[in-house]
Amino acid sequence: MNQLFLPAAEPVDIALRGFARAHPGLVTLHEDPLHVTAVHRHPDRRVGLVSGGGSGHEPLHAGFVGRGMLDAAAPGRIFASPHNRQVYEASRHAAGPDGVLHVVKNYTGDRINFGIAAERLRADGIPVRRVLVDDDLATESDETATGRRGTGATAVVEKLLGGAADSGLGIDELAALGAEFVAASRSVAVAGRAQTSPARGGTAFELAPGDVEYGVGIHGERAQVTVPRPSFDDLVERMTGQVLDALPATNDDGVILFVNGLGATTLLELYAVHETVAGLLDKRGATVAGRLVGSYVPALDMSGFSVTVTALRPGWLTWWDAPSHTPAFPRQELPR
Helix (H, G, I), strand (E, B) or coil at 15: helix
Query: In the range 191-210, which residues lie near a copy of itself by CB under 8 A?
Result: 192-193, 196, 201, 209-210
Site stretch for a copy of itself (CB under 8 A), options 153-161, 176-184, 218-226, 293-301: 293-301
CB 308 within 8 A of CB 156: yes
Least distance in angstroms from the C-beta of 119 to another protein:
5
Among 11, 33, 109, 170, binds a copy of itself (CB under 8 A): 11
Residue 230 interacts with another protein (CB under 8 A): yes or no: no
- Please give the helix or strand (H or E) that residue 141 lies within, else none: none
List CB contacts of 281: < 8 A, sequence separation 6 or more: 240, 244, 255, 257, 287, 288, 309
DSSP 297-333: S--TTBEEEEEEEEE--TTHHHHHHS-EE-SS-EE-P
Site stretch for another protein (CB under 8 A), options 15-23, 117-125, 133-141, 160-168: 117-125
Beta bridge partners of 104: 132
Provide the 10 A C-beta neighbour count for residue 248: 10
Residue 84 interacts with another protein (CB under 8 A): yes or no: yes
Q: Which of 35, 93, 219, 274 is catalytic?
A: 219
Residue 119 interacts with another protein (CB under 8 A): yes or no: yes
Phi-psi region of 147 (alpha: psi -120 to 50; beta: other; left: phi over 0): left
Residue 162 interacts with a copy of itself (CB under 8 A): yes or no: no
Residue 116 interacts with another protein (CB under 8 A): yes or no: yes
Residue 229 interacts with a copy of itself (CB under 8 A): yes or no: yes
Least distance in angstroms from the C-beta of 86 to another protein:
10
Q: Which of 23, 35, 42, 57 is catalytic?
A: 57
Q: How far is CA 265 from CA 7, 157, 227, 271, 272, in A?
A: 24, 23, 19, 11, 11
CB 204 within 8 A of CB 220: yes
Residue 325 interacts with a copy of itself (CB under 8 A): yes or no: yes
Is residue 83 flagged as an active site residue?
no
Among 55, 91, 187, 242, binds a copy of itself (CB under 8 A): 55
Least distance in angstroms from the C-beta of 271 to a copy of itself:
4
- Please give the helix or strand (H or E) that residue 30 lies within, else none: strand 27-31
Residue 113 interacts with another protein (CB under 8 A): yes or no: yes
Is residue 57 flagged as an active site residue?
yes
Beta bridge partners of 294: 260
Residue 108 interacts with a copy of itself (CB under 8 A): yes or no: no
Residue 147 interacts with a copy of itself (CB under 8 A): yes or no: no
Q: Residue 108: name its binding partner from a copy of itself, another protein, none (Cβ under 5 to 8 Å by kind).
A: another protein
Burial 265-279 (b: 16+ CB within 10 A, else e): beeebbeebbebbbe
Q: Which is nearer to a copy of itself, 118 or 307 (CB)?
A: 307
- The CA distance from 218 to 213, in Å, is 12
Q: Which amino acid is at 297?
A: V
Helices (H) and strands (E) in the chain, counts: 8, 14
Least distance in angstroms from the C-beta of 31 to another protein:
15
Interface ranges with a copy of itself (CB under 8 A): 1-8, 11-12, 14-19, 21-22, 25, 40, 55-56, 58-59, 63, 67, 78, 190, 192-193, 196, 201, 209-210, 229, 231-233, 235, 263-276, 278, 291-293, 298, 300-301, 303-305, 323, 325, 327, 330, 332, 334-335
Catalytic residue positions, numbered: 57, 219
Interface ranges with another protein (CB under 8 A): 84-85, 88, 108, 111-113, 115-116, 118-120, 123, 145
